């Protein structure tokens, strides 16, 4: 069982470039989310989705776009990368509407913007 | 505005002793709390949780305590083992359709053999 799969594991971008971080889960989870981890800041929620066709903003959504066309996939798009977006990005999923269902995380994408 | 705070960036304990990790929150609407453990180059993994209707939840060596009046929770690990060395995040959520999870800044636990 693969769980939550994130690609790529590492990525280096130049300022202004665009890219998409991929996230796929095979657990049929309705809820999916993206977090970024920065030193001293913990994990901060970027965007989340409670099902296909439904997305909403988290704590730090600026500079990022998401879409949810299928239950399995939840890509995160950087339209014009900035050095402030250098971070480790984690995708996570869980059963929606289940109050005590924990999040399952992928292993992260380490992004460097120069 | 950090709604979930872990004021100790790091903690070092001897193998076999108790590790106590602390977490404070500001939002009184939070009613479900979780602890996650994270090893380097891996994603966080769920460890233990507690609902606001309880003040203690135990799972093997791990116990979480909740003090709602103080808006404080703690994770106790007894006995601590070298394999417990990791970053520990507390997280909180409040009920509703979205049930967003808000994380603290993390505490790096080092268990010395």
- Asked if residues A11 and A20 have their Cβ atoms less than 8 Å apart, the reply is no
The per-residue pLDDT for range B23-81, each reduced to its tens digit, is: 999 999 898 999 999 999 999 999 999 999 999 999 999 999 999 999 999 999 999 99
Residue B16 is predicted with a pLDDT of 97
- The set of residues, in sequence order, having a beta carbon less than 8 Å from that of A39 and lying 6+ positions away, is none
Burial B59-71 (b: 16+ CB within 10 A, else e): eeebbbbbeeeeb
Total residue length of chain B: 113
Higher pLDDT residue, B2 or A26? Answer: A26
Residue A97 is predicted with a pLDDT of 67
**Given A48, A56, A105, which is nearest B44 (Cβ)?**
A105
Q: Which helix (H) or strand (E) holds B12?
A: strand B10-14
Minimal C-alpha gap between B3 and chain A (Å)? 11
Q: How far apart are CA A113 and CA B15, in angstroms?
A: 40
Residue A85 is predicted with a pLDDT of 97
Tell me which of B99, B102, B107 to substitute to probe the interface with A (most A C-beta atoms closer than 10 Å): B99
Does residue B1 have a pLDDT over 90?
A: no
Minimal C-alpha gap between A51 and chain B (Å)? 10
**A89, exposed or middle or buried, with CB in 10 Å at 0-12, 13-18, 19+?**
buried
Write out chain A residues lying below 8 Å of B100, CB-based: 33, 45, 48, 58
Write out chain A residues lying below 8 Å of B95, CB-based: 99
Give, for all 114 residues of chain A, the pLDDT tens digit: 679 999 999 999 999 999 999 999 999 999 999 999 998 888 999 999 999 999 999 989 999 999 999 999 999 999 999 999 999 999 999 987 666 778 999 999 999 999
Q: How far apart are CA A102 and CA B59, in angstroms?
A: 15
Residue A102 is predicted with a pLDDT of 85
* Residue B100 near chain A (CB below 8 Å): yes
Residue of B nearest to A103 (CA): B46
At residue B71, φ and ψ (nearest 5 deg) are 50, 55
């Amino acid at each position: 069982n693969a769980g939550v799969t994130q690609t790529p594991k590492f990525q280096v971008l130049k300022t202004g470039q665009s890219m998409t971080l991929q996230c796929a889960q095979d657990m049929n989870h309705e809820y999916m989310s993206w977090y970024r981890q920065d030193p001293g800041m913990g994990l901060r929620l970027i965007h989340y989705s409670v099902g296909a066709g439904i997305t909403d903003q988290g704590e730090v959504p600026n500079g990022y776009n998401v879409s949810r066309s299928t239950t399995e996939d939840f890509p995160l798009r950087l339209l014009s990368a900035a050095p402030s977006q250098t971070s480790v990005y984690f995708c996570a999923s869980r059963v929606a509407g289940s109050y005590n269902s924990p999040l399952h995380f992928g292993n992260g994408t380490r992004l460097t913007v120069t | 505005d950090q709604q979930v705070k872990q004021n100790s960036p790091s903690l070092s304990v001897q193998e076999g002793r108790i590790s106590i990790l602390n977490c404070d929150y500001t939002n009184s609407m939070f009613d479900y709390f979780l602890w996650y453990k994270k090893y380097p180059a891996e994603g966080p993994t769920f460890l233990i949780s507690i609902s606001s209707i309880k003040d203690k939840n135990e799972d093997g060596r791990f116990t979480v305590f909740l003090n709602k009046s103080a808006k404080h929770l703690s994770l106790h690990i007894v006995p601590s083992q070298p394999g417990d060395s990791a970053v520990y995040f507390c997280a909180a959520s409040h009920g509703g359709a979205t049930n967003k999870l808000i994380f603290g800044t993390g505490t790096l636990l080092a268990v010395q053999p």
